[in-house]
Amino acid sequence: MHWSDVVAQRLAERGKKHIVSTGITPSGEFHIGHLREILTGDMISKAAKKAGLDVEFVFIVDSADPLRKVYSFLDDSYSAYIGHQLKQIPPPNEFGMPDLERFSNGVSYADHFLEPFKEALTQIDVHPRFIDNFDSYANGEFAETARQACNNADKIREIIERVSGRQLADDWFPWNPIDSNGSIDGIRVNGWEDPLVHWTDSEGRLGTSDVTKGEGKLPWRVDWPAKWAWIGVTMEPFGKDHGAAGGSFDTGKEIVELFGVKAPLDLTYEWISLRGKGAMSSSSGNTIGPLEALSLVPPEILRYLVASTKPNKAIEFDTGMGLVNLADEFERTTARDFSLEMEKEGLSRRQIVAIEDAKTAVELSCISEKEEASLVTFRHLALLAQTKSKDEDVWESLGLSESVSQAMTDRLQRMRTWIQSKHFPDELRITILEQPDSDAIGLLDDQNMKVLPDLTASLRTCEWTVKEIQSAISSAASNNEIAPRSVYRALYLCIMGRERGPRLPTILVELDRDSILSLLDACIQAKKES
Partner RNA sequence: GGGCCUGUAGCUCAGUCAGGUAGAGCGUCGGGCUUUUAACCCGAUGGUCGCGGGUUCGAACCCCGUCGGGCCCGCCA
Closest CB 366 distance from RNA, rounded Å:
20
Q: Map the footprint of RNA across residues 432-471, applying CB under 7 A.
A: 470-471
Q: What is the 3-state secondary structure (H, E, C) of 201-223?
A: CCCCCEEEEEHHHCCCECCHHHH
Does 342 sit near RNA (CB under 7 A)?
no
Q: Which is nearer to RNA, 130 or 180 (CB)?
A: 130
Q: Which is nearer to RNA, 180 or 284 (CB)?
A: 284
Q: Which is nearer to RNA, 430 or 457 (CB)?
A: 430
Residues 479 and 463: their CA atoms lie apart, in Å, by: 19
**Amino acid, single-letter form, for residue 205:** R
Q: Map the footprint of RNA across residues 215-274, applying CB under 7 A.
A: 220-221, 238-248, 268-272
Does 344 sit near RNA (CB under 7 A)?
no
Q: What is the 3-state secondary structure (H, E, C) of 235-254?
A: EEEEEHHHHCCCCHHHHHHH
Q: Which is nearer to RNA, 162 or 205 (CB)?
A: 162
Kindly tell me which residue out of 206, 354, 457, 511 binds RNA, with binding defined by CB under 7 A.
354
Q: Give the number of other CB atoms < 10 A from CB of residue 137.
A: 26
Residues 112 and 119: their CA atoms lie apart, in Å, by: 12
Does 353 sit near RNA (CB under 7 A)?
yes
Kindly tell me which residue out of 21, 25, 148, 183 binds RNA, with binding defined by CB under 7 A.
25
Q: Which is nearer to RNA, 54 or 445 (CB)?
A: 445
Q: Which is nearer to RNA, 212 or 377 (CB)?
A: 377
Kindly tell me which residue out of 119, 203, 316, 512 binds RNA, with binding defined by CB under 7 A.
316
Kindly tell me which residue out of 294, 297, 408, 473 binds RNA, with binding defined by CB under 7 A.
473
Peptide bond into 502 cis (omega under 30): no
Closest CB 37 distance from RNA, rounded Å:
5
Q: What is the DSSP letter of 196?
A: E
Residue 474 phi/psi, 5-degree rounding, is -70, -35
Q: What is the DSSP letter of 20?
A: E
Does 429 sit near RNA (CB under 7 A)?
yes
Q: Which is nearer to RNA, 24 or 520 (CB)?
A: 24
Kindly tell me which residue out of 162, 205, 262, 310 binds RNA, with binding defined by CB under 7 A.
310
Radius of gyration of the chain (CA): 31
Pairing of strands 206-210, 265-269: unpaired
Closest CB 369 distance from RNA, rounded Å:
26
Q: What is the DSSP letter of 502?
A: S
Does 527 sit near RNA (CB under 7 A)?
no
Does 359 sit near RNA (CB under 7 A)?
no
Does 112 sit near RNA (CB under 7 A)?
no
Q: What is the 3-state secondary structure (H, E, C) of 354-376?
A: HHHHHHHHHHHHCCCCCCCCCCC
Q: What is the DSSP letter of 284?
A: T
Nearest to 290 by CA among 417, 113, 410: 113
Q: Map the footprint of RNA across residues 366-425, applying CB under 7 A.
A: 376-377, 379-380, 383
Q: Map the footprint of RNA across residues 37-96, applying CB under 7 A.
A: 37, 68-69
